[in-house]
Structures are given as structure tokens and as C-alpha cells.
Amino acid sequence: MTNLQNKQMGSTLVEVIVSVFLLTFGVLGLMAAQLRSVASLSEAENRNAVALAAENLADGMQMNPSVQRLVTTNGLNIVRRYPDYIRGVTKVNPLDAAANKLPTPLTGASSWTADSGSRDAITKAQVAENQLRIFEQGLTQLPNTVDIQYAICLDNASGEPTYNNGTMNPNCRPSNTGNDRTVIKVLWVVRGDNATSAPVVFTYQLHVSQ
């Protein structure tokens, strides 16, 4: 009788240990799922912020174009170009939300007088620079980023930006015809989940209507 009782007690203890292990693995699984959910939410927030900043810039660009007559696949056509906005690879400090990234007042707007009825001309380049500063200010708001770079270029291939040794390659391949599109390309790098995780690279690009 004693041996039977000992076997029953031992069996119950094993079941408890197995249950604890199962519960532990279940909790760890829930924690991993929660971490993935938080990472996905952060990624979505960053992408939405980049898209909003790029779309606002594109809207401003369309109101400040340079009109050119160029050869396209349909012959000679009038197309809009944005030479004042073209930028090579430009780095934006994620921690730099200081005043040097804020838009500056357009000086021409302050010289209007009621007597003269006129004002100094505000150049297209001034408007472009102002809008680009607003765009960069928007990019500084991305959380958990360790590197943000962008380029605005003519492109005919829609190549995705790549990242190598800390430098963005925008992969802009213009054909130098009217078929090229002005593209805003943004690349940002997010730190890994822990000290040993590799940073994760994300990209976004937006074609500006011509």
C-alpha cells in the first residue's frame, strides 16, 4: 500500500512540474507576441509619419513647379519639373528637432508697404528651401531611429533605396527625357530589439505628379 501511495505522489509532482513548464512557455510566447506587436506598431507609426511628411512636401512642390517642354513617349509635351527641390543624399539627425531645422520667415513677405502697393519678390528657391525644412522637421519626429536619409531626384526606374556602410544609395536612374519622374526617397534605420540585434532598414518613396 505504501509503495502505491509513493507512486501516486510522484506522478502528481511530475504533472505539476510539466504544468509549470507549459505555463512558463506560454507566458514567454505571449511576451514575444507582445514585443512583435509593439515593433509592428512602431513601424506603422514611422511609415505613416514619413508618408505624411513626403505627401505634404509633394503638395508644396506641385504648387511651385518649373514648366518645361520635353520629349516624352507621346511626343513633345509640357511637363512639370522641380529643380529647386532636387537633393542628393541628405542626412537628417533624428535627435535634431532644434530651431535650425525649423522653417525661416520668407524675407520678401515683410517688405510690402501700403504706399508702394508692392513687395519684394519671393523666389521659387526660397519657397522650396522653406518647404524642405518643414519636411526635414517632420522626419526628425520618427521614434527609435538611429539614421534618417533622403534624396529627391529624377528617376525612370523606380529603384528602391539601399543602405550600405551607413550611406543611402537612392538608386536614381534618370533617362534624361520627359518620361522621368521626380521621386522623394526616404530611408530610415531602427535600432534592434536588443544590443545584439542588427538594425532594421526601412524605405519609402513617393512619385510627384508631373
Interval 19-62: pLDDT, tens:
777 777 677 676 666 555 555 667 888 899 999 999 999 999 99
Closest CA to 206 of 58, 36, 29: 58
Percent of the chain's residues with pLDDT above 70: 70
**Average of pLDDT values for 66-81?**
76
pTM, full prediction = 0.71
**Average of pLDDT values for 156-179?**
89
Question: d(Cα 132, Cα 185) in Å, to the nearest integer?
Answer: 13
* Count of helix runs (H) and strand runs (E) in the chain: 2, 8
Q: What is the mean pLDDT of the chain?
A: 79
Residues contacting 161, CB < 8 A, separation 6+ = 151, 168, 169, 170, 171, 185, 186, 187, 203, 205
